[in-house]
Amino acid sequence: MELSREVAEIVKKAAGGRDPEEFLVELVAARLDPPQRVEAYLALHEKYLREAEELYRKGDLAQAGEKYWGAVTALLNAIAEKRGWEHYSHRDYAVAVERLYEETKDRELIVGFRMAEGLHANYYHNFMRREGFELHREAVLKLVEKLMGLLAR
């Protein structure tokens, strides 16, 4: 599907600085049943992860970090949707991770989420050097694996 330039501008403006595709998925998700919403969030996760890896390879660490954050939050949206949890804000993501930790006692969930938050902050402030970014990226990729496993349960 291709949007006209005019419609794309309207969507971009309505998204208020957020990723327009994520904004559209959220709008459409309201009309889907829960399993379809989970599928939509998984598709968004895959898109963000693919874009993150491409930006990482190009050396655009600030943009890559934000895409890794988007991949994590899309997975948290899918998990929360499946479990009937709130997932509309940064706070909701933190609460979901805490709940997953309580369930699994896997400390890497907390650490990985905090590292993802670091990449998200780096998008706005661009303070990370490559070596620090690498540490954050590794933790986030491990978190993604763990979240995918929890989603499959």
Residue whose entry in the numeric block shows the structure tokens 């998700």? 29
- Is the distance from CB of 40 to CB of 29 less than 8 angstroms? yes
**Position 29: which residue type?**
A
Q: Tell me: pLDDT of 3 over 90.
A: no
The residue whose two tokens read 């995918």 is: 148
| pLDDT at residue 1 is higher than 80 | no
Judgement on whether residues 93 and 122 belong to the same structural domain of the protein = yes
What per-residue confidence (pLDDT) applies to 132?
97
- Tell me: do 59 and 95 sit in the same domain: yes
81 and 140 within one domain: yes
3 in the same domain as 66: no
Long-range contacts of 99-102 (CB under 8 A, 24+ apart): 100/147, 100/150
Q: Are residues 14 and 63 in the same domain?
A: no
Tokens matching residue 54: 């491409």
Question: Is 44 in the same domain as 54?
Answer: yes
State whether 44 and 106 are in the same domain. Answer: yes
What CATH number should be reported for the domain holding residue 141?
Answer: 1.20.120.330
- Asked if residues 87 and 138 have their Cβ atoms less than 8 Å apart, the reply is no
Q: Check whether residue 43 and residue 61 sit in a common domain.
A: yes
Residue 25 shares a structural domain with residue 90: no
Predicted TM-score (pTM) of this structure: 0.89
Tokens (6 digits) for 151: 């989603």
For the stretch 60-112, pLDDT in tens is 999 999 999 999 999 999 999 999 999 989 999 999 999 999 999 999 999 99
Which pLDDT band, with edges at 50, 70 and 90, does 29 fall under? confident
Judge whether 109 and 130 are in contact, CB under 8 Å: no
Q: Based on the domain organization, do 2 and 43 belong to the same domain?
A: no
For residue 22, the model assigns a pLDDT of 81
**Does residue 13 sit in the same domain as residue 60?**
no
Token duo for residue 79: 């998990």
Average pLDDT estimate for 18-44: 88
Q: Identify the CA nearest to 39 among candidates 21, 25, 27.
A: 25
How many domains does one find in the chain?
Answer: 2
Q: What is the pLDDT of residue 112?
A: 98
Domain that holds residue 92: 33-152
The mean predicted confidence, pLDDT, of the chain is 95
- The pLDDT value given to residue 21: 83
Residue 18 banded pLDDT, cuts 50, 70, 90: confident
CB 112, CB 143: distance < 8 Å: yes
Buried b (16+ CB within 10 A) or exposed e, 121-130: ebbeeeebee
Q: Are residues 123 and 111 in the same domain?
A: yes
